[in-house]
């Protein structure tokens, strides 16, 4: 089975750069599973810049909601880099009629995680650590933070490698 590698850190911490470097140790084709949506001009520019930086050896799968389905689109023996898990969570919570129901969201994540564990090719996942700051004032933000933490715990437990990135510096938390 392929291995799962998890990169976690704050915004603009260097986690995606580290994840790309890790994924590029595997042969092409490489798949970039993008959860961002080009909802405004700034995000469109950001997405275009990221695509250009990745280069021609990367195939992009844009999927803001259905991670397992998107993972199944990639060639099974190729590396897949998912960027980013917290953005996916935000997308799902924004489209879930009752965002306070954790179980459907966690089930959807578990479906992705189960598939990632079974595929022969490696999976690299990037996510933002949002639990290190102040407690959010509103219930929805607290729920987002809590779900993010639960998902990160599940991913870290299943992952072969976990790296926390701060100021561009990787700190290995778990290594196979």
Residues 6+ positions from 166 with CB-CB distance below 8 Å = 9, 10, 13, 14
Catalytic residue among 3, 24, 36, 50: 50
| Radius of gyration for the chain, computed over Cα atoms and rounded to the nearest angstrom | 15
The answer to whether the peptide bond before residue 160 is cis (omega within 30 degrees of 0) is no
User: Tokens in use for 78?
Assistant: 């190729």
Answer yes or no: 152 catalytic.
no
Rounded CA separation 85/153 (Å): 13
Dmax (CA) for the chain in angstroms is: 46
CB distance 156 to 6 below 8 Å: yes
CB distance 93 to 145 below 8 Å: no
Catalytic residues: 50
């Amino acid at each position: 089975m392929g291995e799962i590698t998890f990169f976690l850190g704050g915004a603009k911490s260097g986690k995606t750069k580290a994840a790309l470097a890790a994924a590029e140790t595997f042969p092409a084709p490489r798949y970039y599973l993008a959860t961002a949506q080009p909802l405004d001009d700034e995000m469109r520019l950001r997405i275009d810049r990221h695509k250009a930086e990745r280069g021609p050896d990367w195939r992009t799968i844009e999927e803001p909601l259905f991670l397992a389905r998107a993972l199944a689109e990639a060639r099974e023996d190729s590396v897949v880099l998912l960027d980013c898990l917290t953005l996916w969570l935000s997308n799902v919570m924004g489209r879930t009629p009752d965002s306070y129901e954790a179980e459907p969201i966690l089930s959807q994540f578990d479906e992705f995680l189960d598939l990632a564990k079974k595929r022969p090719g490696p999976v690299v996942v990037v996510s933002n650590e949002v639990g290190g700051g102040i407690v959010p004032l509103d219930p929805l933000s607290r729920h987002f933070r809590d779900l993010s933490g639960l998902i990160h715990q599940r991913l870290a437990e299943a992952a072969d490698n976990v790296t926390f990135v701060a100021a561009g510096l990787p700190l290995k938390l778990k290594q196979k």
